[in-house]
Amino acid sequence: MPIELNVNGASRSVDVDPDMPLLWVIRDVLGLTGTKYGCGMALCGCCTVHVDGVATRSCATPVSAAAGRKVTTIEGLSTDGSHPLQRAFVDEQVPQCGWCQPGMLMTAAELLAQKPRPTDEDIDRTLGDHICRCGTYQRIRSAVHRAARGGAA
Amino acid sequence: MSPLESLSRRDFLGAAATAGAALVIGFHWSRDAAAQPAGSRPAPRPFDAWIRIGTDGAVTLLVAKAEMGQGVFTTLPMLLAEELDVDFARVGIEQAPTDAEIYSHGTGGSTSVRTSFEPLRQAAAAARHQLVATAAERWGVAAGACRVDDGVVIGPGGERAGYGELVAAASQRPLPDLATLPLKPASGWQVLGTSVPRRDIPPKLDGSARFGLDVRRPGMLYAVVARCPTIGGKPKRWDAQRAKAVKGVREVLEIPAVRDNGVFSTGGVAVVAEHTWAAISGRDALAIEWDAGAAAGESSAALSRQMEELLGREGKVVRDDGDAPAALARAARRIEATYEIPFQAHAPMEPLNATVDVRADGVEVWLGSQGPHDVRARIAAVTGVDPAKVTVHNLFLGGAFGRRYSTDHPVEAAQISKAIGRPVQLLWTREDDMRHDFYRPAARHRLVAGLDGEDRPIAWHHRMASPSIAAYWGWGGGSRPEMSEIGGAVDLPYALPAHRMEYALAQTAVPVMWWRSVEHSGNAFVIESFVDELAHAAGVDPLEFRLRLLAEPREVREPGDPSGPPLLTARLRRVLELAAEKAGWGRPLAAGRARGIAAHFSFHSYVAEVAEVSLERGRPRVHRVVAAVDCGQVMHPDNLAAQVEGGVVYGLTATLKGAITVASGQVEQSNFHDFEMLRIDEMPVVEVHAVASEERPTGIGEPALPPIAPAVANALFALTGKRLRRLPISPSDLA
């Protein structure tokens, strides 16, 4: 039986195994490749999306758990790259290889939605479950603070 | 692309050609021994890159360099914009067509800027010369009386002509001798030396950047391969029907291992499906019985014993200055230590993948590769297709660090696509990646140094045993197994009357390959820790001790590599002094904190780092890293800082976190729970200071990594009195 999803504001119906991780539905069935696979075990955070506004590891979330709920991927964070975090990540020149960045942004976006002026400790706690092998952590911290300040350096 | 194709067949420096209505200039990268990928061919030399200026004035650099976050899509166009006198924003970059003969397709070794610095600017200067000469001739004025402002030639009487309107005529002019064209002095640079925004960043923040795994082709299927967990083993029997019973699974087939012609693939049982999840689920259902093969007895512990045994006798002498044994015999004091480093996995965040479409009319390949020329050659060999009919599309690399030189994954994808007659995207799951990497070799070192009656070092005897990258890949006929293992140790920068180094090859089935900074990652730890041991034994401040041994300006070269870059001790000394000054070396620290220092020369660049550490619940914590870098003239200060931050983090992970270990022929780690990475809550403040330099630019992707492990270990010694001689640092070694 098809599963009904709302992805980035659009209704989508997918006919897949209800246990299939949301990640593979998003990437391989819906063709939204901005959400990344990194570990498949919710260890690295590359696959993070929002489900009803909550940062969620899509690699370890069965698609059935997202049925009828609002899923937001990096493609839906803003329509034109204008989310304050996206702008701050440009201003701080954060990404290197870029693979982990969509997940970082989705988790950071939830943090700012809940706590508009996070401390270093808040950032460490929420993003501490993510991995960036290129080592952009120092810039991520600066960029989250910059976004919280409304973009000012 | 046909004009470019014909251009690529020409083999002389600085040819210009008419390519439709554009000015196209092809040129060669500089090359040197260090930049030469193993097995690459020297002459004949088709062009490595081209500059194309269209009738619309659009400027494009066509080059086969891979962007993996190191900024090459930004720094190379900067070189072009500078010398062509056009706004940086107007210079585009395109991946050049893959030609098996083109040498510079390889991206690694911190070579891109270093080897393009002169040729790219010369070619740009030639293009500018042609365009200005065309305008001057049109106006009947002297070329020297014209100037250029952002792609517009301006004559002495105010005449104006954009590059676009000049290219047709300019492309007909014979080219001048490139060597006679003056290049802008650094004092006149307007683009170089500035931190223009990196080109690749915006698409990496909105999901639009395309990496290899993001390729979607019509009719494409998804595949994973079940590989024998034991190195070198193969499948004996499996239940294809069980796998095919998984919804979405289409095919189950065995693919043979390829172990020749520069490819080492594991082979295994491929499961092909309508989406990745079905392929993974089908693989889980295979119930494979394995033939473990000959390496089933291998273990890290046995390798360690083998290396220890090798260190007990004389190895191949790779450096022998003075008479170290005699000097040691008469030394007032002997200091002896044994160091060991483990295998390390590359673990790029984008797991390995390749999408291949083997068709009757040729093969198309999509992936992120550090060596697309190799991909092309190996796929041609495994499919039996003419290399000219193999097209490789190189996309963004989600991390590489040396792992994306290898061609095992595209070869496997080609095997599968050929067998099923469909385009296939092969994914290596994280477990595949971690268990079947080509690892940074483990190594064991014994060092003996002698101090004279006044505590001055008079002899240094170093024995190293390790598996060898050159031996594994069969480079150089096995005559120099040490070639990718001893750098950064054999060229010891410190002045000692006697220095002997010996190398012994350890046998293992564990696959090995270059890992970020290659052998320098381990050797810097050993050398810079042992120097620190000598300083403490002599009762001299570790910075002062190093500076004394570097007091005399000298050039140090690798004996086996006389054409390689010389290490200039004056430049190493300068980065030590700068790092110490910026870190406040010698000034008091808060209670419970200590500093350590280390410096290293690699990939033509010099880096010193001071680490500030403490212990938190018995675990090392790095609070601050001050790095001083001499990589010659700085092209892009912010990208330099980013690469140093990245090198420090990559090195800190190997210093403080995981190791790859082998038991019963199997890699014991499989994912990030048992091969841990440094995370944001452990990130130190990293400060980067560049030495003001007039020297030509050198690389920075790798050289910041080697000093971090010894800087941290030396700081922990200063804090605790415990000398740490193995990596990663274990809390039990500090207890």
Residue B17's pLDDT band, with cuts at 50, 70 and 90, is very low
Q: Tell me the C-alpha distance between B151 and B172, whole Å.
A: 19
Same domain for B532 and B592: yes
Which CATH number goes with the domain that contains A51?
3.10.20.30
Sheet holding B16-18, edge to edge: B16-18, B22-27, B49-54, B59-63, B91-95
Same domain for B142 and B226: no
User: DSSP readout, A70-135?
Assistant: EEE-HHHH-SSS-SHHHHHHHHTT--SS-TTHHHHHHHHHHHHHH-SS--HHHHHHHHTT---TT-
Same domain for B692 and B583: yes
Say if B207 falls within a structural domain: no
Give yes or no for residue B14 having a pLDDT over 60: no
Same domain for A92 and A71: no
Same domain for A91 and A50: no
Residue B103's pLDDT band, with cuts at 50, 70 and 90, is very low
Residue B31's pLDDT band, with cuts at 50, 70 and 90, is low
The alpha carbon of residue A48 is apart from the nearest alpha carbon of chain B, in Å, by 12
B351 and chain A in contact, CB less than 8 A: yes
**Least confident interval from B46-50, B330-334, B465-469:** B46-50
**Least confident interval from A95-104, B67-76, B482-491:** B67-76
Domain range for B340: 300-344+438-734
The number of domains in chain B is: 3
Same domain for B267 and B371: yes
Mean pLDDT, chain B, whole residue set: 92
Q: Do B198 and A136 touch (CB under 8 A)?
A: no
For B207, which residue in chain A has the nearest alpha carbon? Answer: A34
Cβ pairs bridging A and B (under 8 Å): 186
**Least confident interval from A76-90, B24-38, B419-433, B711-725:** B24-38
For B427, which residue in chain A has the nearest alpha carbon? Answer: A37
Q: Do B396 and A89 touch (CB under 8 A)?
A: no
Same domain for A138 and A93: yes
Residue B667's pLDDT band, with cuts at 50, 70 and 90, is very high
Per-residue model confidence (pLDDT) at position B26: 83
Considering CB atoms only, which of B197, B277, B400 is closest to A20? B277
Q: What is the pLDDT of residues B523-563, one digit of tens each?
A: 999 999 999 999 999 999 999 999 999 999 999 998 877 77
Amino acid at B384: G
Segment B486-500 mean pLDDT: 97
Per-residue model confidence (pLDDT) at position B107: 78
Considering CB atoms only, which of B349, B351, B429 is closest to A100? B349
Same domain for A64 and A42: yes
* Helix boundaries (H) for B315-407: 324-329, 372-383
Three-state SS annotation for B505-523: ECCCCCCECCCCCCCHHHH
Give yes or no for residue B1 having a pLDDT over 80: no
The alpha carbon of residue A14 is apart from the nearest alpha carbon of chain B, in Å, by 13
Which CATH number goes with the domain that contains A137?
1.10.150.120
Say if A88 falls within a structural domain: yes
Say if B204 falls within a structural domain: no
Say if A153 falls within a structural domain: no
Same domain for A104 and A52: no
Residues of chain B contacting residue A129, judged by C-beta atoms under 8 Å apart: 679
Same domain for B724 and B608: yes
Same domain for A88 and A43: no
Say if B47 falls within a structural domain: yes
Q: Do B673 and A74 touch (CB under 8 A)?
A: no
Choose one of B198, B226, B246: the last residue of a domain. B198
Residues of chain B contacting residue A26, judged by C-beta atoms under 8 Å apart: none
Mean pLDDT, chain A, whole residue set: 97
Say if B433 falls within a structural domain: no
Residues of chain B contacting residue A94, judged by C-beta atoms under 8 Å apart: 201
Same domain for B420 and B454: no
For B653, which residue in chain A has the nearest alpha carbon? Answer: A133
Same domain for B485 and B396: no
Same domain for A28 and A94: no
Say if A35 falls within a structural domain: yes
Exposed/middle/buried for A144, CB within 10 Å: 0-12, 13-18, 19+? Answer: buried
**Least confident interval from A87-101, A122-136, B65-79, B644-658:** B65-79
Residues whose CB is less than 8 angstroms from the CB of residue B562 and which lie 6 or more positions away in sequence, other chains included: none
Residues of chain A contacting residue B398, judged by C-beta atoms under 8 Å apart: 36, 97-99
Q: What is the pLDDT of residues B330-340, one digit of tens each?
A: 999 999 999 99
Residue B170's pLDDT band, with cuts at 50, 70 and 90, is very high
Residues of chain A contacting residue B433, judged by C-beta atoms under 8 Å apart: none
Give yes or no for residue B11 having a pLDDT over 60: no
Q: Do B349 and A131 touch (CB under 8 A)?
A: yes
Same domain for B554 and B459: yes
Choose one of A77, A109, A137: the last residue of a domain. A77
Choose one of B403, B427, B451: the last residue of a domain. B427
Same domain for A113 and A54: no
ipTM of predicted assembly, 2 dp: 0.98
Same domain for B247 and B161: no
Domain range for A71: 3-77
Residue B98's pLDDT band, with cuts at 50, 70 and 90, is low
Mark which residues 426-485 of B lie under 8 Å from A by CB. Answer: 427, 429-430
In whole angstroms, what separates CA B236 from the centre of its chain? 37
Same domain for B236 and B107: no
Q: Do B646 and A34 touch (CB under 8 A)?
A: no
Choose one of A16, A43, A77: the last residue of a domain. A77
Say if B143 falls within a structural domain: yes
Same domain for A73 and A46: yes
Q: What is the pLDDT of residues B580-635, one digit of tens each?
A: 999 999 999 999 999 999 999 999 999 999 999 999 999 999 999 999 999 999 99
Q: What is the pLDDT of residues B255-303, one digit of tens each?
A: 999 998 789 999 999 999 999 999 999 999 999 999 999 999 999 999 9
Q: Do B677 and A133 touch (CB under 8 A)?
A: yes
Same domain for B223 and B181: no
Q: Do B349 and A38 touch (CB under 8 A)?
A: yes
Say if B50 falls within a structural domain: yes
Exposed/middle/buried for B91, CB within 10 Å: 0-12, 13-18, 19+? Answer: buried
Structure tokens at B715: 């700081």
Same domain for A41 and A11: yes
Same domain for B605 and B697: yes
Choose one of A48, A77, A106: the last residue of a domain. A77
Q: Do A138 and B70 touch (CB under 8 A)?
A: no
Question: How many residues belong to chain A?
Answer: 153
Give yes or no for residue B364 having a pLDDT over 60: yes
Considering CB atoms only, which of B195, B277, B645 is closest to A135? B645
For A88, which residue in chain B has the nearest alpha carbon? Answer: B205
Say if B638 falls within a structural domain: yes
Choose one of B427, B450, B473: the last residue of a domain. B427
Give yes or no for residue B652 having a pLDDT over 90: yes
Q: Do B211 and A99 touch (CB under 8 A)?
A: yes
Same domain for A104 and A72: no
Residues of chain B contacting residue A44, judged by C-beta atoms under 8 Å apart: 349, 672, 677
Q: What is the pLDDT of residues B567-586, one digit of tens each?
A: 999 999 999 999 999 999 99
Q: Helix A137-148 vs helix B637-656: angle between axes, to the nearest 10 degrees? A: 120
The number of domains in chain A is: 2
Structure tokens at B580: 């110490």
Report the SS3 class of residue B78: helix
Per-residue model confidence (pLDDT) at position A65: 98
Give yes or no for residue A75 having a pLDDT over 70: yes
Give yes or no for residue B734 having a pLDDT over 50: yes
Residue of higher predicted confidence among B637 and B11: B637
Same domain for A119 and A73: no
Residues of chain B contacting residue A17, judged by C-beta atoms under 8 Å apart: 247-248, 277
Considering CB atoms only, which of B195, B201, B275 is closest to A90? B201
